[in-house]
Amino acid sequence: MWGLFAVLVAVVVLITVLVVRAYRLEPTPAMNTKIKLDTSERSVEYGKRLAKMIQVETISSRFDEDRTKFYKFHETLEELFPNVHKVCEKHEFNGSLLYKWPGAGNHEPILLMSHQDVVEATGTWEHEPFSGDIDEEGRVWGRGTVDTKASLFCIFTAFEELIADGYTPECDVYIGSSCSEEYSGEGAPATVAYLKEQGVRLALVLDEGGMIIEEPVGGVKGTYGMVGVVEKGYGDVRFTARGKGGHASAPTKNTPLVRLAKFMLDVENHHPFTSKFTPTVEEMFRRMAPNMNFPMKLIFANMWLFKPLLLKLLPSISSAAGAMLHTTIAFTTAKGSDGLNVLPQEAYVTGNMRFIQHQDDEASIELISKVAAKYDIETEVIYKDSPCPIVNYMGKPFRLVEKVAAEVYPGIGVCPYVMTGGTDAKYYTEVSDNCIRFAPLYINPQQYASIHGLNENIYQGALPMGVDFYKSIIRNSKF
């Protein structure tokens, strides 16, 4: 009897502790912060200038070596940013660009970057994808507005206006802009090779990545700047099953397609990769927890207790959050027989993999290969690269980005997070320990969903804040 009473008392005490810890997390200003778009003539002029960049079609493809469209885009940059082209050293690598603005001091150099190429724009759009139309709400329409000509525009404009004001930076400041980012092409590697030849070591590389968004995770209220400090590795893998073939009128069991189907179902139902809360992910949720709804706050305020449960449940609650915990694989293409009534002698599926730091490309491929082998399936690596080093969110470069973002967007929260996509920044880890992925522009959910999709657009009223952010980074970069 007394034993049961003691258990009940312990349970009550535990629940009380959990609830008290959750209630102690008072909402931060980010909870009620809404971004106010700029409506001045400045934003209108910026919108018109960005539209000119959008109107130059710069779709890239690893199968198209013609760089004519990119040289046309470079001419537009020269027209829009004459001061940059007068003061800065310009280097060109088969369509990719590097500008150097020499500094007056001895501080370590920094590099700001956004790519100039875009993905294809198929489907039916509300506004033609390379129109650069500006609607009554002040949205600039077109492929590349979010990914990533708007941030490129803001970087160039920050340079242009600071030069016009007679400002000279304390350190060398570079602009990097690849024309092959969308297919992980040669532009960024060629630029990095040049920097290495020149003996350049960068204190900060600031590339595309997270942006200013509302409710970054379901159940988290408020507006946040999501700053990428981790980029996962990338892999394309082919899984091939072989058989005797034959006529479809007399099928045998466990044909190649059937074995591939069993393999894919096994991977989906029994995830083979290890999930783990890294310090980066824990810090992200720690910063978001005060603005969570109460059930989530109860859990995330007490991760010491609920972490094992979260590792299992989080991927099913949010695929994006789940992808921050482990290596992922998505099956993307498949091929079987060429005949509708023929059993294939060989069939394959491909998997796109994103490797987490704690289970890198070699370890993850070994695991998935073991699963494939259970079904007599061969594994072939088509392409892979390793996960990138993790940027320290306690370091000076991250702190500078965090400080400037909070000044330009008063009241927002700023969180480090894991990039689940890829950027050109991965190549720059050879010349910098601080490759940070963050584009300082506000976008709404529709605009976020339009990246690589239909109806890509961005508010012209978001551009002035982006320009001010980059200006402040340049003025305060003294590493």
What percentage of the chain reaches a pLDDT higher than 70? 97
Domain ranges across the chain: 41-231+388-476, 233-272+326-387, 275-325
- Residue 312 has a pLDDT of 85
Reference 347, options 357, 356, 337; nearest CA is: 337
* C-alpha to C-alpha distance for 48 and 438, rounded to whole angstroms: 24
Superfamily of domain 41-231+388-476: Zn peptidases (3.40.630.10)
- Residue 16 has a pLDDT of 77
Answer CATH for 233-272+326-387 from 1.10.3720.10, 3.30.70.360, 1.20.1250.20, 2.60.120.580: 3.30.70.360
Q: What are phi and psi of 205, to 5 degrees?
A: -120, 125
Q: What is the mean pLDDT of residues 435-442?
A: 98
User: How far, in whole angstroms, is CA 85 from its chain's centroid?
Assistant: 30
pTM of the model: 0.93
- Residue 317 has a pLDDT of 74
- Residue 7 has a pLDDT of 61
Q: CA-CA-CA-CA torsion for 57, 452, 288, 321, nearest 10 degrees?
A: -150
The pLDDT of residue 477 is above 80: yes
- Residue 251 has a pLDDT of 86
Express each pLDDT in 254-271 by its tens digit.
Answer: 999 999 999 999 999 998
366 contact partners, CB below 8 Å, separation of at least 6: none
Residue 10 pLDDT grade (very low, low, confident, very high; cuts 50, 70, 90):
low
Average pLDDT, the chain: 94
Q: Are the C-beta atoms of residues 263 and 372 closer than 8 Å to each other?
A: yes
Q: What is the mean pLDDT of residues 288-311?
A: 91
Express each pLDDT in 168-222 by its tens digit.
Answer: 999 999 999 999 999 999 999 999 999 999 999 999 999 999 999 999 988 899 9
Q: How many CB atoms lie within 10 A of CB 431?
A: 20
Quick check: helix, strand or coil at residue 135? coil
Pull the structure tokens for residue 478. Answer: 């003294």
Q: What are phi and psi of 141, to 5 degrees?
A: -105, 145
Residue 336 pLDDT grade (very low, low, confident, very high; cuts 50, 70, 90):
very high
Question: What is the rounded end-to-end Cα distance, in angstroms, of the chain?
Answer: 66
Q: 368: part of which helix (H) or strand (E)?
A: helix 361-373
* C-alpha to C-alpha distance for 159 and 174, rounded to whole angstroms: 10
Quick check: helix, strand or coil at residue 380? strand
Pull the structure tokens for residue 159. Answer: 């340079």
113 contact partners, CB below 8 Å, separation of at least 6: 155, 175, 176, 177, 178, 205, 206, 207, 208, 424, 425, 428
Do domains 41-231+388-476 and 233-272+326-387 share one topology? The answer is no
- Residue 22 has a pLDDT of 81
- C-alpha dist (Å) from residue 448 to 96, 145, 405: 26, 11, 19
